[in-house]
Protein backbone atom coordinates (compact mmCIF):
# COMPACT_ATOMS: atom_id res chain seq x y z
CA UNK A 1 0.00 0.00 0.00
CA UNK A 2 2.84 2.35 0.84
CA UNK A 3 4.37 1.82 -2.59
CA UNK A 4 1.01 2.29 -4.27
CA UNK A 5 0.57 5.65 -2.57
CA UNK A 6 4.13 6.63 -3.41
CA UNK A 7 3.45 6.04 -7.12
CA UNK A 8 0.21 8.02 -6.87
CA UNK A 9 2.11 10.98 -5.50
CA UNK A 10 4.77 10.80 -8.21
CA UNK A 11 2.19 10.38 -10.95
CA UNK A 12 0.59 13.63 -9.76
CA UNK A 13 3.85 15.44 -9.02
CA UNK A 14 5.78 14.42 -12.16
CA UNK A 15 2.90 15.42 -14.39
CA UNK A 16 2.66 18.77 -12.63
CA UNK A 17 6.39 19.35 -13.05
CA UNK A 18 6.28 18.30 -16.70
CA UNK A 19 3.20 20.17 -17.84
CA UNK A 20 2.30 22.94 -15.39
CA UNK A 21 5.33 24.05 -13.35
CA UNK A 22 6.08 26.88 -12.54
CA UNK A 23 2.41 27.73 -12.82
CA UNK A 24 0.27 26.88 -9.85
CA UNK A 25 -1.74 23.77 -10.58
CA UNK A 26 -2.05 21.05 -13.19
CA UNK A 27 -4.93 20.53 -15.60
CA UNK A 28 -4.48 16.78 -15.94
CA UNK A 29 -6.94 16.17 -18.78
CA UNK A 30 -5.28 18.62 -21.16
CA UNK A 31 -1.68 18.68 -19.87
CA UNK A 32 -2.20 22.33 -19.15
CA UNK A 33 -1.88 24.65 -16.15
CA UNK A 34 -3.87 27.08 -14.07
CA UNK A 35 -2.61 29.98 -11.96
CA UNK A 36 -5.04 29.15 -9.26
CA UNK A 37 -3.41 31.03 -6.38
CA UNK A 38 -4.85 34.16 -7.88
CA UNK A 39 -7.96 32.37 -8.96
CA UNK A 40 -8.89 30.72 -5.69
CA UNK A 41 -12.36 31.59 -4.56
CA UNK A 42 -13.73 34.10 -7.05
CA UNK A 43 -11.67 34.16 -10.15
CA UNK A 44 -10.11 37.55 -10.68
CA UNK A 45 -8.10 37.12 -13.80
CA UNK A 46 -8.10 40.83 -14.52
CA UNK A 47 -5.65 41.24 -11.66
CA UNK A 48 -3.18 38.78 -13.09
CA UNK A 49 -0.23 40.54 -14.66
CA UNK A 50 0.74 39.60 -18.17
CA UNK A 51 3.48 36.99 -18.32
CA UNK A 52 2.65 35.96 -14.77
CA UNK A 53 4.25 32.59 -14.38
CA UNK A 54 2.46 31.54 -11.26
CA UNK A 55 3.86 30.91 -7.83
CA UNK A 56 4.79 27.26 -8.36
CA UNK A 57 2.07 26.54 -5.82
CA UNK A 58 2.01 22.77 -6.32
CA UNK A 59 5.79 22.60 -5.89
CA UNK A 60 5.60 24.53 -2.60
CA UNK A 61 2.76 22.27 -1.47
CA UNK A 62 4.81 19.17 -2.38
CA UNK A 63 7.95 20.04 -0.42
CA UNK A 64 6.95 18.47 2.90
CA UNK A 65 5.47 15.41 1.17
CA UNK A 66 8.77 14.89 -0.66
CA UNK A 67 10.41 14.78 2.77
CA UNK A 68 7.84 12.34 4.12
CA UNK A 69 8.74 10.15 1.14
CA UNK A 70 12.46 10.64 1.82
CA UNK A 71 13.21 12.33 -1.52
CA UNK A 72 15.86 14.81 -0.38
CA UNK A 73 17.26 15.31 -3.89
CA UNK A 74 13.98 16.56 -5.31
CA UNK A 75 13.43 18.63 -2.16
CA UNK A 76 16.80 20.33 -2.63
CA UNK A 77 16.03 21.03 -6.29
CA UNK A 78 12.72 22.57 -5.27
CA UNK A 79 14.28 24.75 -2.59
CA UNK A 80 16.93 25.92 -5.03
CA UNK A 81 14.42 26.81 -7.72
CA UNK A 82 12.11 28.65 -5.35
CA UNK A 83 14.87 30.66 -3.73
CA UNK A 84 16.23 31.71 -7.11
CA UNK A 85 12.99 32.36 -8.97
CA UNK A 86 10.00 32.93 -6.76
CA UNK A 87 8.91 36.48 -6.15
CA UNK A 88 5.85 37.80 -4.38
CA UNK A 89 6.29 41.28 -5.80
CA UNK A 90 3.49 40.72 -8.28
CA UNK A 91 0.35 42.66 -9.02
CA UNK A 92 -1.88 39.71 -8.09
CA UNK A 93 -4.93 39.64 -5.85
CA UNK A 94 -4.82 36.53 -3.69
CA UNK A 95 -7.01 35.03 -1.03
CA UNK A 96 -5.30 35.60 2.32
CA UNK A 97 -6.49 32.35 3.91
CA UNK A 98 -5.53 30.15 0.96
CA UNK A 99 -2.20 31.90 0.47
CA UNK A 100 -1.47 31.54 4.17
CA UNK A 101 -2.24 27.82 4.49
CA UNK A 102 -0.76 26.79 1.16
CA UNK A 103 2.16 29.10 0.46
CA UNK A 104 3.24 30.50 3.82
CA UNK A 105 2.56 27.17 5.56
CA UNK A 106 4.37 25.21 2.85
CA UNK A 107 7.43 27.46 3.01
CA UNK A 108 7.61 27.59 6.80
CA UNK A 109 7.23 23.88 7.30
CA UNK A 110 9.87 23.10 4.66
CA UNK A 111 12.14 25.76 6.16
CA UNK A 112 12.00 24.30 9.66
CA UNK A 113 12.65 20.78 8.39
CA UNK A 114 15.47 21.99 6.13
CA UNK A 115 17.18 24.01 8.83
CA UNK A 116 17.12 21.02 11.18
CA UNK A 117 18.65 18.75 8.54
CA UNK A 118 21.27 20.70 6.63
CA UNK A 119 22.96 17.47 5.52
CA UNK A 120 20.12 16.94 3.03
CA UNK A 121 21.69 19.63 0.90
CA UNK A 122 24.36 18.33 -1.47
CA UNK A 123 24.63 21.11 -4.04
CA UNK A 124 23.72 24.28 -2.23
CA UNK A 125 24.00 25.54 1.29
CA UNK A 126 20.60 26.15 2.77
CA UNK A 127 21.08 29.60 4.33
CA UNK A 128 17.44 30.09 5.36
CA UNK A 129 16.41 30.45 1.72
CA UNK A 130 12.75 29.58 2.30
CA UNK A 131 12.52 31.73 5.41
CA UNK A 132 13.46 34.81 3.38
CA UNK A 133 10.55 34.10 1.07
CA UNK A 134 8.19 33.41 3.98
CA UNK A 135 9.10 36.67 5.72
CA UNK A 136 8.56 38.64 2.52
CA UNK A 137 5.16 37.02 2.03
CA UNK A 138 4.15 37.54 5.67
CA UNK A 139 4.93 41.25 5.36
CA UNK A 140 2.68 41.47 2.33
CA UNK A 141 -0.15 40.01 4.42
CA UNK A 142 0.03 42.69 7.11
CA UNK A 143 -1.96 45.47 5.33
CA UNK A 144 -4.96 43.11 5.26
CA UNK A 145 -5.19 43.40 9.06
CA UNK A 146 -5.38 47.20 9.06
CA UNK A 147 -9.10 47.37 9.76
CA UNK A 148 -10.93 48.99 12.70
CA UNK A 149 -11.63 45.52 14.09
CA UNK A 150 -8.29 43.86 13.38
CA UNK A 151 -10.21 41.25 11.37
CA UNK A 152 -8.35 40.81 8.07
CA UNK A 153 -9.72 41.41 4.60
CA UNK A 154 -10.21 38.15 2.71
CA UNK A 155 -8.29 39.39 -0.33
CA UNK A 156 -5.01 41.19 -0.68
CA UNK A 157 -2.97 42.37 -3.62
CA UNK A 158 0.58 41.17 -3.05
CA UNK A 159 2.10 44.30 -4.57
CA UNK A 160 -0.36 47.03 -3.66
CA UNK A 161 -2.04 45.85 -0.46
CA UNK A 162 -5.80 46.08 -0.05
CA UNK A 163 -7.48 47.12 -3.32
CA UNK A 164 -9.95 49.96 -3.56
CA UNK A 165 -13.55 48.79 -3.08
CA UNK A 166 -12.32 45.44 -1.83
CA UNK A 167 -15.03 43.20 -0.43
CA UNK A 168 -15.41 43.54 3.32
CA UNK A 169 -16.97 40.10 3.70
CA UNK A 170 -14.89 37.22 4.95
CA UNK A 171 -15.34 33.88 6.69
CA UNK A 172 -14.71 32.60 10.18
CA UNK A 173 -11.95 30.33 8.94
CA UNK A 174 -10.52 33.26 6.96
CA UNK A 175 -9.99 35.19 10.22
CA UNK A 176 -9.39 32.34 12.61
CA UNK A 177 -6.99 30.01 10.80
CA UNK A 178 -3.85 32.11 10.53
CA UNK A 179 -2.26 31.64 13.93
CA UNK A 180 -0.15 28.54 13.24
CA UNK A 181 1.65 29.88 10.20
CA UNK A 182 1.91 33.50 11.34
CA UNK A 183 2.78 32.48 14.89
CA UNK A 184 5.54 30.23 13.60
CA UNK A 185 6.78 33.00 11.31
CA UNK A 186 7.07 35.37 14.25
CA UNK A 187 8.95 32.81 16.31
CA UNK A 188 11.33 32.15 13.41
CA UNK A 189 12.00 35.79 12.60
CA UNK A 190 11.69 37.35 16.07
CA UNK A 191 9.26 39.77 14.47
CA UNK A 192 6.12 39.73 16.60
CA UNK A 193 3.93 41.56 14.08
CA UNK A 194 2.73 38.39 12.32
CA UNK A 195 1.63 36.53 15.44
CA UNK A 196 0.27 39.75 16.92
CA UNK A 197 -1.98 40.38 13.91
CA UNK A 198 -3.26 36.79 13.77
CA UNK A 199 -3.90 36.64 17.52
CA UNK A 200 -5.71 39.98 17.58
CA UNK A 201 -8.00 38.75 14.80
CA UNK A 202 -8.61 35.46 16.58
CA UNK A 203 -9.45 37.17 19.87
CA UNK A 204 -11.83 39.57 18.14
CA UNK A 205 -13.53 36.67 16.39
CA UNK A 206 -13.92 34.76 19.65
CA UNK A 207 -15.43 37.85 21.27
CA UNK A 208 -18.07 37.82 18.55
CA UNK A 209 -19.39 34.41 19.66
CA UNK A 210 -22.96 34.11 20.88
CA UNK A 211 -23.98 33.32 24.44
CA UNK A 212 -24.11 29.66 23.30
CA UNK A 213 -20.41 29.80 22.34
CA UNK A 214 -21.34 29.49 18.67
CA UNK A 215 -20.01 31.53 15.76
CA UNK A 216 -21.48 32.31 12.36
CA UNK A 217 -19.92 31.58 8.97
CA UNK A 218 -19.37 35.01 7.36
CA UNK A 219 -18.83 38.50 8.73
CA UNK A 220 -17.93 42.07 7.87
CA UNK A 221 -14.31 42.97 8.68
CA UNK A 222 -15.01 46.68 9.04
CA UNK A 223 -17.95 46.49 11.42
CA UNK A 224 -17.32 43.12 13.07
CA UNK A 225 -20.94 42.13 12.45
CA UNK A 226 -22.08 38.71 11.39
CA UNK A 227 -23.51 38.28 7.89
CA UNK A 228 -24.35 34.57 7.97
CA UNK A 229 -25.53 33.40 11.37
CA UNK A 230 -25.84 29.75 10.45
CA UNK A 231 -22.72 27.66 10.84
CA UNK A 232 -21.45 24.14 11.31
CA UNK A 233 -18.09 22.40 11.23
CA UNK A 234 -17.66 22.49 7.44
CA UNK A 235 -16.98 25.13 4.80
CA UNK A 236 -16.08 28.58 6.08
CA UNK A 237 -15.54 27.47 9.68
CA UNK A 238 -13.70 24.11 9.79
CA UNK A 239 -10.11 25.17 10.30
CA UNK A 240 -11.08 27.76 12.93
CA UNK A 241 -11.78 24.88 15.37
CA UNK A 242 -8.74 23.00 14.14
CA UNK A 243 -6.39 25.93 14.78
CA UNK A 244 -7.61 26.55 18.33
CA UNK A 245 -6.55 23.05 19.34
CA UNK A 246 -3.42 22.94 17.23
CA UNK A 247 -2.30 26.37 18.45
CA UNK A 248 -2.61 25.02 21.97
CA UNK A 249 -0.51 22.00 21.07
CA UNK A 250 2.14 24.09 19.31
CA UNK A 251 2.35 27.07 21.64
CA UNK A 252 0.95 25.68 24.91
CA UNK A 253 -1.05 28.74 25.90
CA UNK A 254 -4.15 28.09 28.04
CA UNK A 255 -5.98 30.80 26.16
CA UNK A 256 -6.17 28.55 23.08
CA UNK A 257 -7.28 25.58 25.12
CA UNK A 258 -10.02 27.55 26.86
CA UNK A 259 -11.37 28.77 23.54
CA UNK A 260 -11.17 25.31 21.99
CA UNK A 261 -12.78 23.61 24.94
CA UNK A 262 -15.81 25.91 24.98
CA UNK A 263 -16.12 25.83 21.20
CA UNK A 264 -15.85 22.03 21.08
CA UNK A 265 -18.53 21.54 23.73
CA UNK A 266 -20.85 23.91 21.85
CA UNK A 267 -20.32 21.98 18.60
CA UNK A 268 -21.11 18.69 20.28
CA UNK A 269 -24.15 20.19 21.95
CA UNK A 270 -25.76 22.12 19.08
CA UNK A 271 -24.50 20.57 15.82
CA UNK A 272 -24.22 16.88 16.60
CA UNK A 273 -27.02 14.48 15.90
CA UNK A 274 -25.81 10.93 16.56
CA UNK A 275 -22.80 10.48 14.31
CA UNK A 276 -23.81 13.39 12.03
CA UNK A 277 -23.22 17.13 12.26
CA UNK A 278 -25.80 19.59 10.95
CA UNK A 279 -25.68 23.39 10.91
CA UNK A 280 -27.38 25.61 13.47
CA UNK A 281 -28.13 29.28 14.04
CA UNK A 282 -25.50 30.73 16.37
CA UNK A 283 -28.11 32.81 18.22
CA UNK A 284 -30.67 30.12 19.01
CA UNK A 285 -28.78 26.88 18.51
CA UNK A 286 -31.70 25.73 16.31
CA UNK A 287 -30.83 23.38 13.44
CA UNK A 288 -30.74 25.06 10.01
CA UNK A 289 -29.26 22.77 7.33
CA UNK A 290 -29.17 18.98 7.60
CA UNK A 291 -26.29 18.32 5.28
CA UNK A 292 -23.10 16.33 5.36
CA UNK A 293 -20.27 18.11 3.58
CA UNK A 294 -17.01 16.66 2.44
CA UNK A 295 -14.98 19.19 4.45
CA UNK A 296 -16.60 18.02 7.71
CA UNK A 297 -14.74 14.73 7.35
CA UNK A 298 -11.71 16.31 9.06
CA UNK A 299 -13.66 16.42 12.34
CA UNK A 300 -13.02 12.81 13.45
CA UNK A 301 -9.29 13.51 13.01
CA UNK A 302 -9.55 16.53 15.28
CA UNK A 303 -11.58 14.55 17.80
CA UNK A 304 -8.91 11.87 17.80
CA UNK A 305 -6.26 14.48 18.47
CA UNK A 306 -8.16 15.70 21.51
CA UNK A 307 -8.76 12.15 22.72
CA UNK A 308 -12.44 11.73 21.88
CA UNK A 309 -11.66 8.57 19.94
CA UNK A 310 -15.02 6.83 20.39
CA UNK A 311 -16.97 9.79 18.97
CA UNK A 312 -14.41 10.10 16.19
CA UNK A 313 -14.83 6.46 15.25
CA UNK A 314 -18.57 6.78 15.10
CA UNK A 315 -18.58 9.75 12.69
CA UNK A 316 -15.72 8.39 10.62
CA UNK A 317 -17.81 5.30 9.85
CA UNK A 318 -20.63 7.43 8.51
CA UNK A 319 -18.36 9.47 6.27
CA UNK A 320 -16.88 6.24 4.97
CA UNK A 321 -20.37 4.86 4.40
CA UNK A 322 -21.17 7.84 2.15
CA UNK A 323 -17.78 7.48 0.41
CA UNK A 324 -18.58 3.82 -0.35
CA UNK A 325 -22.09 4.69 -1.49
CA UNK A 326 -20.80 6.97 -4.26
CA UNK A 327 -17.21 5.77 -4.76
CA UNK A 328 -15.83 9.09 -3.44
CA UNK A 329 -17.18 11.68 -1.02
CA UNK A 330 -19.64 14.15 -2.59
CA UNK A 331 -19.20 17.79 -1.62
CA UNK A 332 -22.70 17.87 -0.11
CA UNK A 333 -25.13 15.14 0.89
CA UNK A 334 -28.65 15.74 2.17
CA UNK A 335 -28.99 13.89 5.45
CA UNK A 336 -32.77 13.96 5.67
CA UNK A 337 -33.28 12.40 2.23
CA UNK A 338 -30.02 10.42 2.10
CA UNK A 339 -29.37 11.83 -1.38
CA UNK A 340 -26.93 14.02 -3.23
CA UNK A 341 -27.27 17.80 -3.19
CA UNK A 342 -28.72 18.96 -6.54
CA UNK A 343 -25.66 21.02 -7.52
CA UNK A 344 -22.74 20.28 -5.19
CA UNK A 345 -21.99 16.79 -6.44
CA UNK A 346 -18.28 17.18 -7.03
CA UNK A 347 -15.23 15.61 -5.38
CA UNK A 348 -12.11 17.72 -5.90
CA UNK A 349 -9.65 15.08 -4.56
CA UNK A 350 -10.15 16.30 -1.01
CA UNK A 351 -8.05 14.81 1.78
CA UNK A 352 -10.31 14.99 4.83
CA UNK A 353 -11.45 11.37 5.03
CA UNK A 354 -7.91 10.08 4.50
CA UNK A 355 -6.71 12.54 7.15
CA UNK A 356 -9.16 11.29 9.77
CA UNK A 357 -8.39 7.69 8.84
CA UNK A 358 -4.72 8.37 9.47
CA UNK A 359 -5.37 9.91 12.90
CA UNK A 360 -7.69 7.11 13.92
CA UNK A 361 -5.20 4.47 12.88
CA UNK A 362 -2.43 6.23 14.80
CA UNK A 363 -4.66 6.25 17.88
CA UNK A 364 -6.10 2.76 17.73
CA UNK A 365 -3.80 0.69 15.50
CA UNK A 366 -7.04 -0.96 14.46
CA UNK A 367 -6.39 -2.60 11.06
CA UNK A 368 -9.91 -1.63 10.01
CA UNK A 369 -8.53 1.81 9.18
CA UNK A 370 -5.88 0.30 6.92
CA UNK A 371 -8.71 -1.29 4.97
CA UNK A 372 -10.50 2.05 4.76
CA UNK A 373 -7.28 3.54 3.37
CA UNK A 374 -7.03 0.71 0.86
CA UNK A 375 -10.54 1.43 -0.30
CA UNK A 376 -9.81 5.17 -0.65
CA UNK A 377 -6.67 4.43 -2.67
CA UNK A 378 -8.56 2.01 -4.92
CA UNK A 379 -11.32 4.58 -5.57
CA UNK A 380 -8.84 7.33 -6.34
CA UNK A 381 -6.99 5.12 -8.79
CA UNK A 382 -10.04 3.80 -10.52
CA UNK A 383 -12.11 7.00 -10.72
CA UNK A 384 -9.67 9.92 -10.79
CA UNK A 385 -6.37 8.71 -12.24
CA UNK A 386 -5.79 9.77 -15.84
CA UNK A 387 -2.65 9.69 -18.01
CA UNK A 388 -1.87 13.29 -17.12
CA UNK A 389 -2.27 13.09 -13.33
CA UNK A 390 -5.30 12.93 -11.03
CA UNK A 391 -8.48 14.75 -12.01
CA UNK A 392 -11.26 16.07 -9.78
CA UNK A 393 -14.70 14.51 -10.11
CA UNK A 394 -17.31 16.94 -11.42
CA UNK A 395 -20.30 14.78 -10.55
CA UNK A 396 -20.05 11.73 -8.34
CA UNK A 397 -23.25 10.26 -9.81
CA UNK A 398 -21.70 10.02 -13.29
CA UNK A 399 -18.00 10.14 -12.33
CA UNK A 400 -17.53 12.75 -15.02
CA UNK A 401 -14.13 14.37 -14.50
CA UNK A 402 -13.00 17.96 -14.29
CA UNK A 403 -9.66 19.30 -15.56
CA UNK A 404 -8.10 20.22 -12.23
CA UNK A 405 -5.57 18.63 -9.89
CA UNK A 406 -5.72 20.70 -6.72
CA UNK A 407 -2.47 21.31 -4.89
CA UNK A 408 -3.86 19.83 -1.67
CA UNK A 409 -3.87 16.44 -3.37
CA UNK A 410 -0.06 16.65 -3.14
CA UNK A 411 0.23 18.28 0.26
CA UNK A 412 -2.53 16.38 2.06
CA UNK A 413 -4.33 13.53 0.30
CA UNK A 414 -1.19 11.67 -0.74
CA UNK A 415 0.65 12.56 2.47
CA UNK A 416 -1.98 11.23 4.87
CA UNK A 417 -2.47 8.08 2.81
CA UNK A 418 1.28 7.48 2.77
CA UNK A 419 1.61 8.09 6.51
CA UNK A 420 -1.17 5.60 7.11
CA UNK A 421 1.08 2.86 5.74
CA UNK A 422 4.50 4.22 6.66
CA UNK A 423 4.70 6.62 9.57
CA UNK A 424 8.47 6.54 9.96
CA UNK A 425 8.59 10.27 9.24
CA UNK A 426 6.57 11.07 12.36
CA UNK A 427 7.66 8.18 14.59
CA UNK A 428 9.14 9.38 17.83
CA UNK A 429 8.53 13.01 17.00
CA UNK A 430 5.73 15.41 17.80
CA UNK A 431 4.39 17.29 14.83
CA UNK A 432 1.32 19.39 14.38
CA UNK A 433 0.01 19.26 10.83
CA UNK A 434 -1.37 22.55 9.55
CA UNK A 435 -4.79 22.47 7.93
CA UNK A 436 -2.99 22.02 4.61
CA UNK A 437 -1.01 19.04 5.93
CA UNK A 438 2.32 20.80 6.43
CA UNK A 439 4.14 19.47 9.51
CA UNK A 440 5.38 21.86 12.21
CA UNK A 441 7.47 20.32 14.98
CA UNK A 442 6.42 21.00 18.56
CA UNK A 443 9.40 22.81 20.09
CA UNK A 444 10.04 23.62 23.72
CA UNK A 445 11.36 27.02 22.65
CA UNK A 446 7.95 28.01 21.28
CA UNK A 447 5.91 26.29 23.94
CA UNK A 448 4.78 27.73 27.25
CA UNK A 449 4.85 24.44 29.12
CA UNK A 450 7.35 22.03 27.68
CA UNK A 451 10.55 21.64 29.66
CA UNK A 452 13.65 23.05 28.06
CA UNK A 453 15.11 19.56 27.92
CA UNK A 454 12.45 18.55 25.41
CA UNK A 455 14.21 18.20 22.07
CA UNK A 456 11.90 17.42 19.22
CA UNK A 457 14.57 16.63 16.67
CA UNK A 458 16.60 14.23 18.79
CA UNK A 459 15.16 10.97 17.58
CA UNK A 460 17.45 8.82 19.73
CA UNK A 461 15.94 10.08 22.97
CA UNK A 462 12.70 8.34 22.04
CA UNK A 463 14.22 4.96 21.38
CA UNK A 464 13.18 3.31 24.62
CA UNK A 465 9.72 4.81 24.92
CA UNK A 466 8.05 5.30 21.58
CA UNK A 467 4.53 5.61 22.94
CA UNK A 468 2.73 8.72 21.84
CA UNK A 469 -0.20 10.14 23.81
CA UNK A 470 -2.37 8.89 20.97
CA UNK A 471 -1.16 5.32 20.85
CA UNK A 472 -1.29 4.98 24.62
CA UNK A 473 -5.04 5.56 24.62
CA UNK A 474 -5.68 2.11 23.27
CA UNK A 475 -4.34 -1.20 24.04
CA UNK A 476 -2.67 -3.41 21.55
CA UNK A 477 -0.54 -5.86 23.49
CA UNK A 478 2.54 -4.32 21.97
CA UNK A 479 2.98 -0.69 21.09
CA UNK A 480 5.68 -0.29 18.48
CA UNK A 481 7.46 -3.36 19.72
CA UNK A 482 7.58 -2.28 23.38
CA UNK A 483 5.70 -4.46 25.88
CA UNK A 484 3.11 -2.53 27.86
CA UNK A 485 2.75 -3.66 31.45
CA UNK A 486 -0.82 -4.23 32.53
CA UNK A 487 -2.32 -6.42 35.24
CA UNK A 488 -5.58 -6.98 33.37
CA UNK A 489 -4.43 -7.29 29.81
CA UNK A 490 -5.57 -10.32 27.86
CA UNK A 491 -4.39 -10.35 24.25
CA UNK A 492 -6.79 -10.92 21.38
CA UNK A 493 -6.73 -14.42 19.99
CA UNK A 494 -5.11 -13.31 16.75
CA UNK A 495 -2.23 -10.89 16.47
CA UNK A 496 -3.97 -8.89 13.70
CA UNK A 497 -7.04 -8.41 15.95
CA UNK A 498 -9.25 -10.24 13.44
CA UNK A 499 -12.21 -12.07 15.02
CA UNK A 500 -15.43 -13.92 14.30
CA UNK A 501 -16.94 -13.64 17.78
CA UNK A 502 -16.51 -11.68 21.04
CA UNK A 503 -14.93 -14.73 22.63
CA UNK A 504 -11.86 -14.26 20.45
CA UNK A 505 -11.25 -10.75 21.82
CA UNK A 506 -9.20 -10.02 24.91
CA UNK A 507 -9.18 -7.32 27.57
CA UNK A 508 -7.96 -3.78 26.95
CA UNK A 509 -4.73 -3.25 28.87
CA UNK A 510 -5.36 0.41 29.64
CA UNK A 511 -9.04 0.52 30.56
CA UNK A 512 -9.34 -3.15 31.58
CA UNK A 513 -12.52 -3.37 29.51
CA UNK A 514 -13.57 -6.40 27.54
CA UNK A 515 -12.99 -5.97 23.81
CA UNK A 516 -15.71 -7.15 21.44
CA UNK A 517 -15.83 -8.23 17.82
CA UNK A 518 -17.04 -5.57 15.34
CA UNK A 519 -19.30 -6.24 12.37
CA UNK A 520 -16.26 -5.78 10.18
CA UNK A 521 -14.51 -8.53 12.16
CA UNK A 522 -12.04 -6.70 14.39
CA UNK A 523 -11.59 -6.69 18.17
CA UNK A 524 -12.01 -3.28 19.75
CA UNK A 525 -13.76 -1.31 22.47
CA UNK A 526 -16.85 -1.22 20.29
CA UNK A 527 -19.34 -1.53 23.14
CA UNK A 528 -18.16 1.82 24.47
CA UNK A 529 -18.26 3.56 21.13
CA UNK A 530 -21.98 4.31 21.07
Apex CA 391: angle with CA 385 and CA 394, to 5°? 125
**Which of 8, 208, 245, 295 touches ligand DMJ (CB under 6 A)?**
295
By rule CB under 6 A, what string of x and - marks binding of each residue 422-441 to ligand DMJ?
-------------xx-----
Q: Determine phi and psi for 213, rounding to 5 degrees.
A: 65, 30
Binding-site annotation, residues for Ca(2+): 435
Active-site hit among 331, 355, 402, 436: 331
Q: How far is the CB of 97 from ligand DMJ (least distance, A)?
A: 8
Identity of the residue, 330 or 351, whose beta carbon is nearer to ligand DMJ in the bound complex:
351
Q: How far is the CB of 344 from ligand DMJ (least distance, A)?
A: 13
Identity of the residue, 78 or 301, whose beta carbon is nearer to ligand DMJ in the bound complex:
301
Query: Residues near 184 by Cβ (< 8 Å), separated by ≥ 6?
Result: 108, 112, 250, 440, 446
Q: Cis (ω within 30 of 0) for the bond into 22?
A: yes
Judged by CB under 6 A, the chain residues 334 through 363 that form the site for ligand DMJ are 350-352
Active-site hit among 24, 74, 228, 238: 238
Binding-site annotation, residues: 435
Q: Determine phi and psi for 383, rounding to 5 degrees.
A: -100, -25
Identity of the residue, 175 or 523, whose beta carbon is nearer to ligand DMJ in the bound complex:
175
Task: Confirm whether 352 is a catalytic residue.
Answer: yes
Q: Does 292 bind ligand DMJ (CB under 6 A)?
A: no
Number of residues that bind ligand DMJ (CB under 6 A): 9
Q: How far is the CB of 513 from ligand DMJ (least distance, A)?
A: 34
Across 178-214, b (16+ Cβ under 10 Å) vs e yields: bbbbbbbbbbbbeeebbbbbbbebbebbbebbbebbb
Cα 470 to Cα 476: distance, rounded to the nearest angstrom: 12
Identity of the residue, 322 or 523, whose beta carbon is nearer to ligand DMJ in the bound complex:
322
| Residue 147 neighbours by CB distance under 10 Å | 20
Task: Confirm whether 331 is a catalytic residue.
Answer: yes
Burial class (CB in 10 A: 0-12, 13-18, 19+), 450: middle
Q: Does 24 bind ligand DMJ (CB under 6 A)?
A: no
Cα 47 to Cα 368: distance, rounded to the nearest angstrom: 48
Q: How far is the CB of 241 from ligand DMJ (least distance, A)?
A: 11
Q: Does 408 bind ligand DMJ (CB under 6 A)?
A: yes
Q: Does 239 bind ligand DMJ (CB under 6 A)?
A: yes
Q: Does 60 bind ligand DMJ (CB under 6 A)?
A: no
For residue 394, the surrounding DSSP H or E stretch is: strand 392-395
By rule CB under 6 A, what string of x and - marks binding of each residue 72-91 to ligand DMJ?
--------------------
Cα 197 to Cα 205: distance, rounded to the nearest angstrom: 12
Identity of the residue, 171 or 518, whose beta carbon is nearer to ligand DMJ in the bound complex:
171
- Using CA atoms, how far residue 61 sits from 331, 332, 412, in Å, is 22, 26, 9
The contact set with ligand DMJ (CB under 6 A) reads 238-239, 295, 350-352, 408, 435-436
Amino acid sequence: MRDKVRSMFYHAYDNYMAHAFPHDELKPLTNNFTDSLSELGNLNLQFLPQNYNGSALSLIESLSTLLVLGNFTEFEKGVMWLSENLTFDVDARVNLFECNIRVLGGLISAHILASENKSWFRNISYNDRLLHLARDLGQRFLPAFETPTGLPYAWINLKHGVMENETTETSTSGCGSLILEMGALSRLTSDSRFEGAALRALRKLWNMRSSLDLLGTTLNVLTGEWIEYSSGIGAGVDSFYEYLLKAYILFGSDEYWDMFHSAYLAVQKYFRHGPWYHEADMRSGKATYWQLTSLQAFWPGLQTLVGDVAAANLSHREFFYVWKKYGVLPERYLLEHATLHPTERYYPLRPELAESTYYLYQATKDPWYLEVGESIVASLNSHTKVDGGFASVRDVSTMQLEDHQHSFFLSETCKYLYLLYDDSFVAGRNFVFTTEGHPLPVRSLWHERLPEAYITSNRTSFKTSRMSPLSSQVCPEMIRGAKVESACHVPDLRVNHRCTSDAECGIDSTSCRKRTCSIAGYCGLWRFVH
